[in-house]
Amino acid sequence: MANTILIGAQWGDEGKGKIIDVLTAKADIVVRSQGGNNAGHTVIHRGSKYVLHLIPSGILRRGKTCVIGNGVVIDPVALVAEIDGLRELGITIGRNLLISDCAHLVLPYHRLLDEQRELRQGREKIGTTKRGIGPAYGDKAARTGLRMSDLMQPIVFSKKLQAKISENNRILQALGAKPISFHQVNKSYLAAGERLRPFVGNTVVFLHRALERGKEILFEGAQGTFLDIDHGTYPYVTSSNTTAGGACTGTGVPPHRVDRVVGVMKAYTTRVGEGALPTEDVRLTQMLHNLGREFGATTGRKRRCGWFDAVATRYATMINGIDDLAITNLDGLDDVDPIHVCVAYRLNGKPLDVPPSDAVQLANCEPIYEEVRGWNSSTHSARKLSQLPLAAREYVRYISKLTGARLSVISVGPGRSETIIL
């Protein structure tokens, strides 16, 4: 198994939760390094559907330790609710969960600012999940954030919170929003803090000691490559490094301890929120929605869908150093014939084989498609490559070749067993 970073190679929702669940069988520790409860990772476990937001997807398997690393932004109230929700469903959460004391907190004013900024942007909005992610990372970068370690010291926390709330109330009022009550937030956050206290500590030391003992770590990426704050389709991105490098800064595990990078990508493309999606296709979107597929796991919004975009995934391979590919949702194309694959873009009459950095230019890119034949049959029951229809085998080989990484996993359904491991 070795120490493995798993990242999304597209715009998020690639099926990372499902693949993490499959790979967790061989890992000892599953760690989240970035993002917050903007993430929604779906895992089907013993016939029930679980959507994980802050807790690593490995929590569903016994004997695995799950770590929320320093690079994650945590809404403590939401995290307590997630823990309680999982416990109610019979999942054990105790010594198997650790939370970094360096992780920054998402506070109610972050959520309100996120909402207000989106509202004021009107048609230019990002289409965020309104979980306060951008403002929380903003405070972190500005060195004015509150961290888990503050929450563990009630007197320190309350003092800092009071100053932050008085400052943010002035901003909220200037934006036309209602101010928030220090006492209410202080009370609910301190209560959440006490619930989280048993889990909080120095996760960097924990991870290094585990590595010394030969334990294997699986890094669970959230969002996807093109939502990365540096490499994504800025400004239509999230506020963290969703690419492989973020796994190291977000956990304190050095790069040379990483053995492998797995890139997860759908057999087509989806995006939720605003921003360019060069291969977006209204008919494909409609068809997938009619099948009950592609509704957001966090906000329930409809995902926009498009054809497989090899310009994007090839770029993702480069940035992340993807060794292995996991292709998910192959079954989504079971009834599609012909299938289009974007092999290059055209911008102002000129072909492009890498995505332009500018959002307006990207929006003006026209995809250049290759047409490939569909297979017009179900792939759900395939458990070996040889059990896939020939055209489906040709398709996965083709998109892997265009992406430039080794094909290692093919997913043909949401369940753990609906997987072909090569």
Tell me which residues touch ligand GDP (CB under 6 A). 8, 12-18, 40-42, 297, 328-329, 331, 411-414
Contact pick of 6, 13, 244, 327 for Mg ion (by CB under 5 A): 13
CA-CA distance, 104 to 196, in Å (whole number)?
14
Q: Which residues carry out catalysis?
A: 13, 41
Site for ligand IMO in 276-315 (CB under 6 A): 297
Q: Rule CB under 6 A: is residue 138 a binding residue for ligand IMO?
A: no
Phi first, then psi: what are they for 101, rounded to 5°?
Answer: -75, -10
Asked if 324 is part of the footprint of Mg ion (rule: CB under 5 A), the reply reads no
Given 15, 56, 76, 134, the residue binding ligand IMO (CB under 6 A): 134
Q: Is the separation of the CB atoms in 266 and 327 below 8 Å?
A: yes
Binding flags for ligand IMO, 30-59, as an x/- string (CB under 6 A) = --------xxxx------------------
Longest dimension (CA), the chain: 65
Of the residues 8, 108, 278, 367, which one makes contact with ligand IMO according to CB under 6 A: 8
Binding partner of 412, given Mg ion, ligand GDP, ligand IMO, none, CB within 5-8 angstroms per partner class: ligand GDP
110 versus 164: smaller Cβ distance to ligand IMO: 110
Q: Integer distance in angstroms from the first to the last C-alpha of the chain?
A: 14
x/- binding map, residues 55-84, to ligand IMO, per CB under 6 A? ------------------------------
Site string for ligand IMO, 227-256 (x = CB under 6 A): x----------xx-----------------
Residue 131 engages ligand IMO in binding (rule: CB under 6 A): yes
Burial of 363 (0-12, 13-18, 19+ CB in 10 A): middle
Using CA of residue 224, residue 225, residue 227, residue 230, what is the dihedral sign?
Answer: positive
Binding mask 253-272 for ligand IMO (x = CB under 6 A): -------------------x
By CB under 6 A, name the one of 68, 133, 264, 322 that touches ligand IMO: 133
Please, which residue, 40 or 108, has the CB nearer to Mg ion? 40
In whole angstroms, how far apart are CA 182 and each of 59, 143, 146, 166?
Answer: 34, 21, 15, 8
**Interface residue with ligand IMO, options 5, 10, 13, 111 (CB under 6 A):** 13
Yes or no: say if 295 and 302 are a contact pair by the CB < 8 Å rule. Answer: yes
Considering CB distances under 5 to 8 angstroms, the limit depending on partner class, which of Mg ion, ligand GDP, ligand IMO, none binds residue 108?
none
Q: Which does 333 bind (CB under 5 to 8 A by kind): ligand IMO, Mg ion, ligand GDP, none?
A: none
Where along the sequence are the contacts to ligand IMO (CB under 6 A)? 8, 12-13, 38-41, 126-129, 131, 133-134, 222-224, 227, 238-239, 272-273, 297
